[in-house]
Amino acid sequence: MAIKTSSAGGRTGKILGAGLRTLGRTVLNKLPGGDRLERTAIYWAEVGEDWAQTLGDLRGAAMKMGQLASQYADVLPPQLAEQLKKLQRSVEPLPFVDIEPLLDAQWTPTQKKRIRSVEPDAIAAASIGQVHRAVLSNGAPVVIKVRYPGVVDAVDADVAQLKRLIGLSKLLPVDGASIDTLMAEVRARFREETDYAAELGHLKHLRKHAKLPGIVYPKPVEALCADGILVLSEEAGASLEAAKDWPQDVRDALGLALSRWALHQMFVALAVHADPHPGNFAFRETGELVVYDFGCVKRLSRPVADRVVALLNAAHEARWDDLHGHLTALGGISEGVTTAQLTALYRELAELILGRLAEAEMFDFDDATFITGIRGAIKRNLGLSFKFKPVSDLLFVLRALSGHYWILRALRARVPVIAILKPHGVQLAQGGADKPTPRA
E strands present in 101-195: 115-118, 124-125, 129-136, 141-147
Is the pLDDT higher at 254 or at 30?
254
Buried (b) or exposed (e) across 4-40, using 16+ Cβ within 10 A?
bbeebeebbebbeebbebbeebeeebeeeeeeeeeee
pLDDT for position 169: 58
Nearest partner of 183 among 166, 202, 169, judged by Cα: 166
Per-residue pLDDT reduced to its tens digit, 329-362: 999 999 999 999 999 999 999 999 999 999 999 9
E strands present in 313-436: 363-364, 414-415
What does the domain layout of the chain look like in residue ranges?
A: 8-88+154-171, 211-216+236-440
- Average of per-residue pLDDT across 231-239: 96
Record the pTM: 0.78
DSSP element (H, E) containing 302: helix 302-316
Could you tell me whether strands 141-147 and 215-216 are parallel, antiparallel, or unpaired per DSSP bridges? unpaired
How far apart, in whole angstroms, are the C-alpha atoms of residue 266 and residue 271? 6
- Average of per-residue pLDDT across 250-262: 98
CA atoms lying within 13 Å on the CB side of residue 317: 12
Provide DSSP, 27-49. Answer: HHHTSS-S-HHHHHHHHHHHHHH
pLDDT for position 382: 84
Task: Lowest mean pLDDT of 121-125, 167-171, 310-314, name the range.
Answer: 167-171
What number of other Cβ atoms are within 10 A of residue 175's Cβ?
12
- The answer to whether 70 touches 87, Cβ cutoff 8 Å, is yes
Q: Is 261 helix (H, G, I), strand (E, B) or coil?
A: helix
pLDDT for position 3: 47
pLDDT tier at 84 (50, 70, 90 boundaries)?
low
Phi, psi torsion values for 83, nearest 5 degrees: -70, -40
Residues in the chain: 440
How far apart, in whole angstroms, are the C-alpha atoms of residue 96 and residue 118? 10
How far apart, in whole angstroms, are the C-alpha atoms of residue 65 and residue 127? 10
What mean pLDDT is reported for the chain?
84
Q: Is 133 helix (H, G, I), strand (E, B) or coil?
A: strand
pLDDT tier at 184 (50, 70, 90 boundaries)?
confident
